[in-house]
Amino acid sequence: MLKIKNLKAGIEEVQILKGINLEVKAGEVHAIMGPNGSGKSTLSAVIAGKEDYEVEDGSVDFLGEDLMDLDPEERAHKGVFLSFQYPVEIPGISVSNFIKTSLAEKRKALGLDPLPAKDLLKMMREKMELLSIKKGYLSRNMNEGFSGGEKKRNEIFQMAMLEPKLSILDETDSGLDIDALRIVANGVNKLRTKDNATIVITHYQRLLEHIVPDFVHVLHEGRIIKSGGKELALELEKRGYDWITKN
């Protein structure tokens, strides 16, 4: 599904990613771990198409198309979803209005009419139930006055509504207490199918207890320096990043 080859990218002439290679197949969950400043968030921003970042070399192939040729919204229409580490507030725009717009734009790009209001509402209700979201949430303004946990849950709710092929969860566990973490992780697990894939970006192993990865990659100074199975995460937790980076 996703093939990243020798990706080099940076911001304001500072190279942050120094040759990333990664392949993600449908149905897989990959975890990307690494210390602060290793380039984890840069990688997610480059895949999603944030324009501050300059891609210097390499390619990112998504379902046979070079993602780097597409605008961020076109990438979203093709099925790339980024759960933001710091979701932004959009004052005055309700969650339901935002999601309605978002879904309608995606469907338009795919040549479909917007979902009829009834079906949309039904879908929202189902997904809210999936994520234990309380009534009244839909009419709140996007992320305005949301707690850290509510913001992250709102990200996963949008993911559930948009049904992306590739989801990148950027530090989704940060700012979550253990209960919120469990709810969010359960939601993500329920959304897993054999046709979609997930990249989980995290500092800590604790999220991976709930969202169990098929592969774990360690990112350090812009390169993947080690890959392995889920045990790698446990090992890292025990021995710290120094264990790998010092070698």
Partner 1 sequence: MSDIKKQSEDELLEEVTSSEYKYGFTTDIESDTIPKGLSEEVVRTISAKKNEPEWMLEYRLNAYKAWLEMEEPNWANVSYKKPNYQDVIYYSAPKQKPVLDSLDDLDPEMKRTFDKLGISLEEQKRLANVAVDIVMDSVSVATSFKETLAEKGIIFCSISEAIQEHPELVKKYLGTVVPVRDNFFSALNSAVFSDGSFCYIPKGVQCPMELSTYFRINEAGTGQFERTLLIADEGSQVSYLEGCTAPMRDENQLHAAVVELIALDSADIKYSTVQNWYPGDKDGNGGVFNFVTKRGICHKNAKISWTQVETGSAVTWKYPSCILKGDNSIGEFFSVAVTNNKQQADTGTKMVHLGKNTKSTIIAKGISAGYSDGNYRGLVRIAKGATNSRNFSQCDSLLMGDKCGSHTFPYIEVKNNSSQVEHEATTSKIGEDQIFYCNQRGIGTEEAIALIVNGYCKDVLNQLPMEFAVEAQKLLEISLEGSVG
What residues make contact with partner 1 under the rule CB under 8 A?
48-52, 54-59, 66, 68-73, 75-77, 81-82, 84, 87-93, 98, 101-103, 105-106, 109, 141-142, 158, 162
Beta bridge pairs of residue 90: 142
Residue count of the chain, please give it. Answer: 247
- Pair of tokens at residue 123: 């879908």
Of the pair 90, 225, the CB lying nearest partner 1 is at 90
DSSP code of 114?
P
Of the pair 93, 121, the CB lying nearest partner 1 is at 93
Amino acid at 220: H
User: Whole-number minimum distance, CB 95 to partner 1, in Å?
Assistant: 12
- Residue 143: count other Cβ atoms within 10 Å of its Cβ: 20
Q: Measure the CA–CA gap between 28 and 81, rounded to whole angstroms.
A: 15
Of the pair 98, 204, the CB lying nearest partner 1 is at 98
Angle, CA 225 vertex, CA 238 and CA 212 arms, to 5°: 55
Q: Measure the CA–CA gap between 164 and 130, rounded to whole angstroms.
A: 16
Residues 94/141, Cβ–Cβ less than 8 Å: yes
Which residue has 């980024």 as its token pair?
82
User: Whole-number minimum distance, CB 6 to partner 1, in Å?
Assistant: 11
User: Whole-number minimum distance, CB 11 to partner 1, in Å?
Assistant: 12
Of the pair 168, 207, the CB lying nearest partner 1 is at 168
DSSP code of 243?
H
Instruction: Tell how strand 29-33 and strand 215-220 pair up.
Output: parallel
Of the pair 66, 195, the CB lying nearest partner 1 is at 66
Among 163, 194, 232, smallest CA distance to 29 is for 194
Of the pair 40, 75, the CB lying nearest partner 1 is at 75
User: Whole-number minimum distance, CB 98 to partner 1, in Å?
Assistant: 7
User: Whole-number minimum distance, CB 71 to partner 1, in Å?
Assistant: 6
User: Whole-number minimum distance, CB 22 to partner 1, in Å?
Assistant: 16
Of the pair 172, 205, the CB lying nearest partner 1 is at 172
Among 188, 160, 191, smallest CA distance to 172 is for 188
User: Whole-number minimum distance, CB 4 to partner 1, in Å?
Assistant: 12
